[in-house]
Structure 1
Amino acid sequence: MTSARREVADSTVSILARQLSEVATRAGKQSADPLNAITGDTYLANKAQHDVELPDTDNPEHLARARQATGFINGADSNPFKGLARDQLSLIARDDGGTFTINERRAAWEELQSTAPTVATSPKQAPVNGRELMISILFNGTEPPVARPPATSENGAQNAADFLNLEDRAVVADMYAYAQEQGADLTFVTVLAATLGDYRHYSDGRQNGGGNTGYDIEGYRVTFDYKPEGAALAASILNGSAINSTRLDQGFVRYTLNPDHGAFSNVGGIPFLERMVKKFSNEGADQPPLGSEFAKYRKVRYEDHIVKTTHQDIRLPPSKALINNDNGVWTLTELGKAQGYVLDKVTGQLSKPIARADEQPKRSTLDDILRNAPRRYLLDAVAGNRDELATRRIWPGHLFKLIKNYKP
């Protein structure tokens, strides 16, 4: 190397060294986002200005380096900071004190990116196939054609999921995929799908009598409602904006959130329904992830979610009641006897003899799925013991159907 070239090199190194020393004293005092000026939209918007910027100096080496940086940015020259240590590149890129031009900082940042250590990346996880999950869980591996309502004696035991229409199945499949990705218990989706399928089976609920038209075994009028927190959540869904664009059938959402229909079918399930209504609406992108409360589907109790009111001023005539209580003595009425009920005279508990296995109706595929641990649904999920389950199967469903057309 000639003496003249050595002097230029030494001069250039000393200039850069002095600049690095200067910016090092300002490290940590930069603006909140010092890289924004060289990486964000602002840089591109002002690029013409950056290309003509020169440092405020008469030093020919610094002026030459600034021009070389602009040439590099525009693909016409090499990077003047190539080979510089990463900590020095970072100092230059992040310094917004005016020691370096914007294009010098940009050139340092690009060199920093090109020399970043290679990070081993895990293989990209394949997306969850919600449709396959749905077919496996709801249809035991083979998707049937859409079954048609109304509910009849011939199709009464049919899998409720068979009645989900094509739009229902599409959104249920997406719910399975979303729940799986979020680490939620898929039983939440299965229960919601079963409730929707039952709604379709019974002609979009038109075949179901309202739950608040029934009477207890003594003939007193009984009504049910959500507890205040459940009622408030139901109201927020019904009065919110997401219901207007949700992919879940709006008629179903309104039907099942009406306590006259949904107090029992929705027991404990309104929070998940709310999340699905919002997630699969125009507001879905703004929704937070599913929380830990959906990580495990747990048994619930009616009394934790439902308010029962017995109206002592409204009672069936004796001929319509199933039992009588006269001064603490329980007796079956003629109607109760005719319907085949059995009375525990000590407790007043009403039940029916359990049919032999060969006399019991065949359960649907979905019933079998939901009764296999850990997937449990509705009555089985809330039952504390066999006696409670038997009582609840009679109450309220059977009694409501028995007298739903009676007008006191």
Structure 2
Amino acid sequence: MEVNNSGRAGYITNSTLVSKKYETGKNPSFTQSAETNALGDQQAQASSTVSISGRALMVSRLFGSDAEEPPVLSSVRGNGEYMGVLPHHFLTHDDRNLLADIYEFAQKQGADLRHVDMLATDLGSYRKYDNGSLMGNFNDGQQYDSEGRLTTVSFTDADATTAEHIQNSDAFSSTRIDQGFLRYTLDPGHGIGRSSNFEFLEQMVSRFSTKGNDTTPLDPKFSTFAYNENNYIMHTADEVTLNIPRDTSSAEEDTSREALMADAKALPQQLNQSLLEAFIGKNDEKPTERSFIIKLFDWLKPPANK
């Protein structure tokens, strides 16, 4: 067994299973009889690589190693109780059949199956939110930064090129991967939240299409996996176009407090001067000193109950 990226136990693929049989009461060792060695050699020659079926891989990796395939759930539209359910449960029967084939193909090609896991997650999320209709588009002209400047996103140059290749390919019109999902995830405003690798997606669009190339081996680079990071570019407009109301009370309070603290630093010198003047007979109170003392007591006293 192995543990996949979601923390569930899964099957180890491309395993070689060799069965050894020994006579009752005999402990196998390197000093076994020639007969036992010959039997072991024959069994070793007869052993072969056992591949888990694509369907078993799909169920194991998406729903749990010991789970049965669950029923298909409808979108969360009108079914709020489904909001916390994992996206995989919303995959349609056609989605699951396709993913089973992709898992089997990826396994045979030696790819890291997490590439398929991420594709399944994106497709499941698309189904969960009513084929994406419940999800807003980041580039809808409604996103602003804290200063009121419009923000938009775009793909990196590499991903933008791959997205264009997919949409303009001959395989796009006949691929088994839902075209609505492809248009959705290849749109930067929606694709900002994707998990799947566009280059891997391009290979799957071509492979599972009547017009695609179903003989070209999968690129060896997919034998390793890395999570998508920094896969989009954020753009911020220069001009402020949204007036954001601001609470200035805290800023005014901070300014008042700073002025009060500045006065407090000068207080010892002022008091010393007042005491000296009182001692020599100059005891007329200065307006500035009285003003500061009044401010100090006003600031320290608790607020009146409203």
Tell me the TM-score normalised to structure 2 length: 0.60
Q: CA deviation at 1:128?
A: 3.8
Task: Report the 3-state secondary structure (helix = DSSP H, G, I; strand = E; otherwise coil) of the residue aligned with 1:318.
Answer: coil
CA distance in 1, matches of 2:106, 2:192: 24
Residue number in structure 2 paired with 1:131: 55
Q: CA deviation at 1:227?
A: 1.8
Q: CA deviation at 1:153?
A: 3.5
Residue number in structure 1 paired with 2:174: 245
Cα separation, partners in 2 of 1:136 and 1:306, compared to 1, 3 Å: same
Q: CA deviation at 1:219?
A: 3.1
Question: 2:237 is matched with which residue: 311, 327, 331?
Answer: 311
Question: 1:230 is matched with which residue: 159, 162, 173?
Answer: 159
1:175 to 2:102 alignment: yes
Q: CA deviation at 1:155?
A: 1.4
Letter in 1 for 2:55: R
Task: Report the 3-state secondary structure (helix = DSSP H, G, I; strand = E; otherwise coil) of the residue aligned with 1:265.
Answer: coil
Q: State whether residues 183 and 295 of structure 1, in contact with CA within 8 Å, keep that contact through their aligned partners in structure 2.
A: yes
Q: State whether residues 247 and 277 of structure 1, in contact with CA within 8 Å, keep that contact through their aligned partners in structure 2.
A: yes
Equivalent pairs, count:
202
Residue number in structure 2 paired with 1:261: 190
Letter in 1 for 2:181: F
Residue number in structure 2 paired with 1:299: 227
Cα separation, partners in 2 of 1:322 and 1:262, compared to 1, 3 Å: farther
Cα separation, partners in 2 of 1:210 and 1:279, compared to 1, 3 Å: same
- Between the aligned residues of both structures, percent identity stands at 38
Letter in 1 for 2:187: N
Letter in 2 for 1:182: Q
CA distance in 2, matches of 1:148, 1:142: 19
Question: 1:192 is matched with which residue: 90, 114, 119?
Answer: 119
Q: State whether residues 217 and 322 of structure 1, in contact with CA within 8 Å, keep that contact through their aligned partners in structure 2.
A: no
* RMSD, matched Cα: 2.6
Residue number in structure 1 paired with 2:74: 148
Tell me the TM-score normalised to structure 1 length: 0.46
**Structural mapping, 1:9-408, within 5 Å:** 125-140=49-64, 141-151=67-77, 152-213=79-140, 214-265=143-194, 269-302=197-230, 305-319=231-245
CA distance in 2, matches of 1:255, 1:306: 15
Q: CA deviation at 1:284?
A: 4.5
Task: Report the 3-state secondary structure (helix = DSSP H, G, I; strand = E; otherwise coil) of the residue aligned with 2:239.
Answer: strand
CA distance in 1, matches of 2:137, 2:68: 34
CA distance in 1, matches of 2:184, 2:247: 30
Task: Report the 3-state secondary structure (helix = DSSP H, G, I; strand = E; otherwise coil) of the residue aligned with 1:143.
Answer: coil
Task: Report the 3-state secondary structure (helix = DSSP H, G, I; strand = E; otherwise coil) of the residue aligned with 2:81.
Answer: coil
CA distance in 1, matches of 2:71, 2:214: 35
Q: State whether residues 221 and 310 of structure 1, in contact with CA within 8 Å, keep that contact through their aligned partners in structure 2.
A: yes
